[in-house]
Amino acid sequence: MTGSLVVTDLRVEFDGFVAVGGVSFDAHPGEVRFLIGPNGAGKTTCIDAITGLSKGSGSVKLGDQELLGKSVNRIVRQGVGRTFQTASVFEQLSVVQNLDIAAGLHRSSLSLLRARRGIDPAIESALEETGLSMERETPAGILSHGQKQWLEIGMMLVQEPRALLLDEPVAGMSQDERTATGELLQRIAQRRIVLVVEHDMDFMRRYASRVTVLHQGKVLSEGAVAQVQADPKVQEVYLGTAGAATTTAMLAVADTTTAVTDAATQGEGA
Amino acid sequence: MTRLKPWLPLIGIGVFAVLLLVVAPAVLSMHWINNLGKYCCWAIAAVGIGLAWGRGGMLVLGQGVFFGLGAYAMAMHLTLETAGPDSLPVFMILYDPTAPLPAFWEPFRSDTFTLVAIVLLPVIVASILGYALFKRRVKGAYFAILTQALAVALAVLISSTIRETGGDTGLSDFKYFFGFVLDDDVNKIMVFMIAAALLIACLLVVWQLNRSRYGELLLATRDAEERVRFLGYDPANIKLVAFVVAAVMASIAGAMFVPIVGIITPAEIGAPASILMIAGVALGGRASLFGPALGAMAIGWGQSSLGSSWPSGWIYILGLVFILVTLFLPMGLSSLLGRVKSMVWRSRATPTAPVVASAPVLEEVRR
Q: What is the mean pLDDT of residues B79-86?
A: 90
Residue A236: pLDDT band (50, 70, 90) is confident
Q: What is the mean pLDDT of residues A18-35?
A: 91
User: How many angstroms separate the first and last alpha carbons of chain A?
Assistant: 36
**How many CA atoms, within 13 angstroms, populate the side-chain half-sphere of residue A262?**
16
DSSP secondary structure of B28-60: S-HHHHHHHHHHHHHHHHHHHHIIIIIIT----
State percent of chain B over pLDDT 90: 69
A242: pLDDT strictly greater than 50: no
Q: What is the pLDDT of residue A250?
A: 52
Q: Which residues of chain A neighbour B335 with C-beta distances below 8 Å? A: none
Calpha distance A202→A206 (Å, rounded): 6
Number of Cβ atoms within 10 Å of the Cβ of B301: 16
Q: What is the pLDDT of residue B242?
A: 97
Query: Cα–Cα distances in Å, from B85 out to A97, B160, B225, B258?
Result: 57, 27, 52, 21
CB–CB contact B230 A72 (8 Å): yes
Query: Cα–Cα distances in Å, from B332 out to B10, B253, B286, B336?
Result: 21, 22, 7, 8
Q: What are phi and psi of A198, to 5 degrees?
A: -150, 150
DSSP 8-state secondary structure symbol assigned to residue A59: E
User: How many angstroms separate the first and last alpha carbons of chain B?
Assistant: 26
**How many CA atoms, within 13 angstroms, populate the side-chain half-sphere of residue A12?**
28
DSSP 8-state secondary structure symbol assigned to residue A24: E
Q: What is the mean pLDDT of residues B53-79?
A: 95
Q: Which residues of chain A neighbour B233 with C-beta distances below 8 Å? A: 73, 105
CB–CB contact B230 A76 (8 Å): yes
Look at A240-244, A247-251, B119-123, B171-175 and tell me which has the smallest mean pLDDT.
A240-244
Q: What is the pLDDT of residue B2?
A: 61
Q: Which residues of chain A neighbour B228 with C-beta distances below 8 Å? A: 101
Taking the model in full, what pTM does it have?
0.84
Interface test with A, best of B55, B221, B230, B365 (most A CBs within 10 A): B230
Contact A105, B231 (CB under 8 A): yes
Minimal CA–CA distance to B243: which of B150, B364, B116?
A: B150
Tens of pLDDT, residue by residue over A40-51, are 888 999 999 999
Highest mean pLDDT among A38-52, A134-148, B121-135, B273-287: B121-135
Q: What is the pLDDT of residue B349?
A: 56
Q: Which residues of chain A neighbour B232 with C-beta distances below 8 Å? A: 73, 76-77, 105, 159
State percent of chain A over pLDDT 90: 37
Residue B6: pLDDT band (50, 70, 90) is confident
Look at A154-163, A232-241, B147-156 and tell me which has the smallest mean pLDDT.
A232-241
Compare A87 and B130 and report the one with higher pLDDT. Answer: B130
Tens of pLDDT, residue by residue over A10-20, are 999 988 888 89
Out of A77, A92, A96, name the one closest to residue B365 (CB): A92
Q: Which residues of chain A neighbour B216 with C-beta distances below 8 Å? A: 93, 97, 100-101, 116
Closest CA of chain A from B192, distance in Å: 30
Tens of pLDDT, residue by residue over A148-164, are 999 999 999 999 899 99
CB–CB contact A159 B233 (8 Å): no
Q: Which residues contact B40 (CB under 8 A, 6 or more apart)?
A: B20, B192, B195, B196, B198, B199, B256, B297
B351: pLDDT strictly greater than 50: no
Minimal CA–CA distance to B41: which of B242, B223, B255?
A: B255
B350 part of a folded domain: no
Which amino acid is located at B313 in the chain?
G
Compare B147 and B361 and report the one with higher pLDDT. Answer: B147
Domain count, chain B: 1
The length of chain B, given as a count of residues: 367
Q: What is the pLDDT of residue A107?
A: 81
DSSP secondary structure of B86-132: T---HHHHHH-TTSPPPTTTGGGGSHHHHHHHHHHHHHHHHHHHHHH
Tens of pLDDT, residue by residue over B173-228, are 999 999 999 999 999 999 999 999 999 999 999 999 999 999 999 999 998 898 89
Highest mean pLDDT among A72-76, A106-110, A196-200, B126-130: B126-130
Residue A255: pLDDT band (50, 70, 90) is low
Q: Which residues of chain A neighbour B214 with C-beta distances below 8 Å? A: 112-113
CA dihedral A204, A9, A46, A76 (to 10 degrees): -110
B123: pLDDT strictly greater than 60: yes
Q: What is the pLDDT of residue A244?
A: 42
Query: Cα–Cα distances in Å, from B230 out to A76, A78, A267, B226?
Result: 6, 12, 23, 6
Q: For A5-268, CATH number?
A: 3.40.50.300
Q: What is the mean pLDDT of residues B27-37?
A: 94
Tens of pLDDT, residue by residue over A96-139, are 999 999 988 878 878 888 888 888 888 998 999 898 999 989 99
Burial class (CB in 10 A: 0-12, 13-18, 19+), A58: middle
CB–CB contact B226 A88 (8 Å): yes
B363 part of a folded domain: no
Tens of pLDDT, residue by residue over B232-268, are 899 999 999 999 999 999 999 999 999 999 999 999 9
CB–CB contact B228 A88 (8 Å): no
Q: What is the mean pLDDT of residues B165-178?
A: 92
B65: pLDDT strictly greater than 50: yes
Residue ranges per structural domain of chain A: 5-268
CB–CB contact B232 A77 (8 Å): yes
B226 part of a folded domain: yes
Phi-psi region at A168: left, alpha or beta (left = phi > 0; alpha = psi -120 to 50):
left
Q: What is the pLDDT of residue B362?
A: 39
Domain encompassing residue B19: 6-267
CB–CB contact A88 B223 (8 Å): no
Contact A211, A223 (CB under 8 A): yes
